[in-house]
Structure 1
Amino acid sequence: MISTIEQLYTFFDQLAEQDACADELFASSYIRGFVALSASEFGDESQPISADLQNSVESKLNDAKAELSPDDRQLVNQYWQSLQSKFA
């Protein structure tokens, strides 16, 4: 389980080392940017992944939906949903 921002960043970093597929690498790196933006509002990297932080990330993803093609938007949304199931 992932319980802090630092652990989430480590998870993202390990994806590249584990030869994750291109779609997973794209979605994780895209989401990581929004996690970083939201995390800066709530504290540092050692902070727990709170419901407020998750809501902030989700809100930022929704606000930026026009940046992505419909297929990429669906990919990112699905990855975000699956990622949240890993949060403690």
Structure 2
Amino acid sequence: MNLELSMQFENLTALYHFLDEQVEQDVSADELFAGSYLRGFISLAGSEYGDESQVLTQALATNISEKLQAARTELTPQDRQIVQDYWLQLQTAFTA
């Protein structure tokens, strides 16, 4: 899995757009799965911090990580690893 995250996302809306656009891109089934799964957690955490125009902060990333950890038994070990690997790459966008 190799995300193209050389750009920083302006805000949460831009991140949602990136995740949603993957459906139309040439990405693997694992990336589609992980992106879709994570989008739900990002949306849940994001709603606790403000609206979709908010910047991607470390506090938001920490909140998402905590939610993922709490839900880790929802996934098989293999799927959990796929999501974790994707999340580790995506976290680089959370810099504010």
TM-score bracket for the superposition, by shorter chain length: over 0.9
2:93 alignment counterpart: 86
Q: Which runs of 5+ in 1 are unaligned?
A: none
* Deviation beyond 6 Å, 4+ runs, structure 1: none
2:56 alignment counterpart: 49
Change (3 A) 1:86 1:53: closer
Equivalent residues in 2 for 1:18-33, closer than 5 Å? 18-33=25-40
Q: Helix, strand or coil for the counterpart of 1:56?
A: helix
> How many residues were matched structurally?
88
More helix as a share of residues: 1
1:71 alignment counterpart: 78
Instruction: Give the RMSD, CA atoms, in angstroms.
Output: 1.0
Question: How far did residue 13 of structure 1 move?
Answer: 1.2
For 1:87 and 1:11, the matched residues in 2 are separated by 14
| TM-score scaled by length of structure 2 | 0.87
Query: Which letter does structure 1 place at the counterpart of 2:59?
Result: D
| TM-score scaled by length of structure 1 | 0.94
Q: Which runs of 5+ in 2 are unaligned?
A: 1-7
For 2:75 and 2:89, the matched residues in 1 are separated by 19
For 1:85 and 1:41, the matched residues in 2 are separated by 21
